[in-house]
Amino acid sequence: QVQLVESGGGSVQSGGSLRLSCTMSGFPLVYYSITWFRQAPGKEREAILCISHSDDRVTYFTDSVRGRFTVSRDNNKNTAFLQMVSLRPEDTADYYCATEGEYEDCGDGHGMNFWGEGTSVNVSA
Protein backbone atom coordinates (compact mmCIF):
# COMPACT_ATOMS: atom_id res chain seq x y z
CA GLN A 1 0.00 0.00 0.00
CA VAL A 2 1.33 3.39 -1.00
CA GLN A 3 1.67 5.77 1.92
CA LEU A 4 2.31 9.48 1.63
CA VAL A 5 3.30 11.80 4.44
CA GLU A 6 3.44 15.56 4.12
CA SER A 7 5.54 17.81 6.30
CA GLY A 8 6.90 21.34 6.38
CA GLY A 9 3.77 23.32 7.00
CA GLY A 10 3.69 26.21 9.42
CA SER A 11 2.92 29.87 9.90
CA VAL A 12 4.60 32.60 7.90
CA GLN A 13 4.02 36.23 7.14
CA SER A 14 2.86 37.44 3.77
CA GLY A 15 5.76 37.38 1.34
CA GLY A 16 7.44 34.52 3.14
CA SER A 17 8.44 31.09 1.89
CA LEU A 18 7.89 27.49 2.85
CA ARG A 19 8.95 24.17 1.43
CA LEU A 20 6.60 21.26 1.88
CA SER A 21 7.73 17.67 1.61
CA CYS A 22 5.82 14.60 0.51
CA THR A 23 7.54 11.36 1.43
CA MET A 24 6.39 8.09 -0.04
CA SER A 25 6.89 4.80 1.73
CA GLY A 26 6.41 1.29 0.56
CA PHE A 27 7.17 1.89 -3.10
CA PRO A 28 9.75 3.78 -5.15
CA LEU A 29 8.64 7.33 -5.87
CA VAL A 30 10.35 7.27 -9.24
CA TYR A 31 7.34 5.46 -10.77
CA TYR A 32 4.70 7.87 -9.43
CA SER A 33 3.50 11.27 -10.52
CA ILE A 34 2.71 13.48 -7.53
CA THR A 35 -0.06 16.04 -7.44
CA TRP A 36 -0.30 18.72 -4.78
CA PHE A 37 -3.69 19.90 -3.57
CA ARG A 38 -4.89 22.41 -1.05
CA GLN A 39 -8.09 23.09 0.81
CA ALA A 40 -8.68 26.51 2.25
CA PRO A 41 -11.10 27.01 5.15
CA GLY A 42 -14.65 26.82 3.88
CA LYS A 43 -13.61 25.99 0.34
CA GLU A 44 -13.37 22.89 -1.78
CA ARG A 45 -10.10 21.11 -2.27
CA GLU A 46 -8.30 22.20 -5.41
CA ALA A 47 -5.45 20.73 -7.40
CA ILE A 48 -2.42 23.00 -7.58
CA LEU A 49 0.18 21.29 -9.70
CA CYS A 50 1.64 17.93 -10.60
CA ILE A 51 5.09 16.59 -11.35
CA SER A 52 5.29 13.76 -13.81
CA HIS A 53 7.09 10.52 -13.01
CA SER A 54 8.25 10.08 -16.61
CA ASP A 55 10.03 13.36 -17.36
CA ASP A 56 9.54 15.64 -14.32
CA ARG A 57 7.30 17.87 -16.39
CA VAL A 58 5.16 20.15 -14.23
CA THR A 59 1.48 20.68 -14.92
CA TYR A 60 -0.19 23.66 -13.25
CA PHE A 61 -3.87 23.48 -12.35
CA THR A 62 -4.13 26.78 -10.49
CA ASP A 63 -3.03 29.97 -12.21
CA SER A 64 -2.64 31.94 -8.98
CA VAL A 65 0.45 29.93 -8.01
CA ARG A 66 2.32 30.24 -11.29
CA GLY A 67 5.63 31.96 -10.75
CA ARG A 68 5.42 31.41 -7.00
CA PHE A 69 5.10 27.66 -6.45
CA THR A 70 7.38 25.05 -7.93
CA VAL A 71 7.55 21.32 -7.48
CA SER A 72 10.51 18.98 -7.57
CA ARG A 73 11.37 15.46 -6.57
CA ASP A 74 14.31 13.58 -5.12
CA ASN A 75 13.76 9.97 -6.02
CA ASN A 76 16.74 8.89 -3.94
CA LYS A 77 14.95 10.25 -0.88
CA ASN A 78 11.53 9.07 -2.11
CA THR A 79 10.35 12.62 -1.55
CA ALA A 80 8.62 15.31 -3.60
CA PHE A 81 8.80 18.96 -2.65
CA LEU A 82 6.52 21.94 -3.04
CA GLN A 83 8.52 25.15 -2.84
CA MET A 84 6.31 28.15 -2.14
CA VAL A 85 7.57 31.73 -2.27
CA SER A 86 5.86 35.11 -2.10
CA LEU A 87 3.13 33.57 0.00
CA ARG A 88 -0.15 35.42 0.36
CA PRO A 89 -2.89 35.18 2.99
CA GLU A 90 -5.10 33.49 0.40
CA ASP A 91 -2.58 30.62 0.26
CA THR A 92 -3.65 29.66 3.77
CA ALA A 93 -4.89 26.08 3.52
CA ASP A 94 -4.26 22.47 4.32
CA TYR A 95 -1.92 21.08 1.69
CA TYR A 96 -1.99 17.49 0.49
CA CYS A 97 0.01 15.36 -1.86
CA ALA A 98 -1.55 12.53 -3.77
CA THR A 99 -0.94 10.09 -6.57
CA GLU A 100 -3.14 8.25 -8.98
CA GLY A 101 -0.91 5.19 -9.02
CA GLU A 102 2.15 3.55 -10.48
CA TYR A 103 3.12 4.69 -13.98
CA GLU A 104 0.16 7.08 -14.20
CA ASP A 105 1.19 10.44 -15.62
CA CYS A 106 -0.26 13.78 -14.59
CA GLY A 107 -3.84 14.00 -15.74
CA ASP A 108 -6.45 16.59 -14.96
CA GLY A 109 -6.04 16.60 -11.19
CA HIS A 110 -8.78 14.05 -10.59
CA GLY A 111 -8.79 10.36 -9.85
CA MET A 112 -6.21 10.22 -7.07
CA ASN A 113 -6.09 6.90 -5.31
CA PHE A 114 -3.56 7.59 -2.55
CA TRP A 115 -3.48 10.63 -0.28
CA GLY A 116 -1.41 11.98 2.53
CA GLU A 117 -2.91 13.35 5.72
CA GLY A 118 -2.00 16.93 4.89
CA THR A 119 0.01 19.71 6.43
CA SER A 120 -1.29 23.14 7.36
CA VAL A 121 -0.01 26.43 6.03
CA ASN A 122 -1.06 29.72 7.56
CA VAL A 123 -0.03 32.99 5.95
CA SER A 124 -0.67 36.13 7.94
CA ALA A 125 -1.01 39.58 6.46
pLDDT band at 25 (very low <50, low <70, confident <90, very high): very high
**For residue 66, what are the contacts with CB-CB under 8 A and spacing of at least 6?**
60
Contact (Cβ atoms closer than 8 angstroms) between residue 49 and residue 57: no
* Residue 8, pLDDT score: 98
pLDDT band at 17 (very low <50, low <70, confident <90, very high): very high
pLDDT band at 121 (very low <50, low <70, confident <90, very high): very high
Q: Residue 118's CB: how many other CB atoms inside 10 A? A: 20
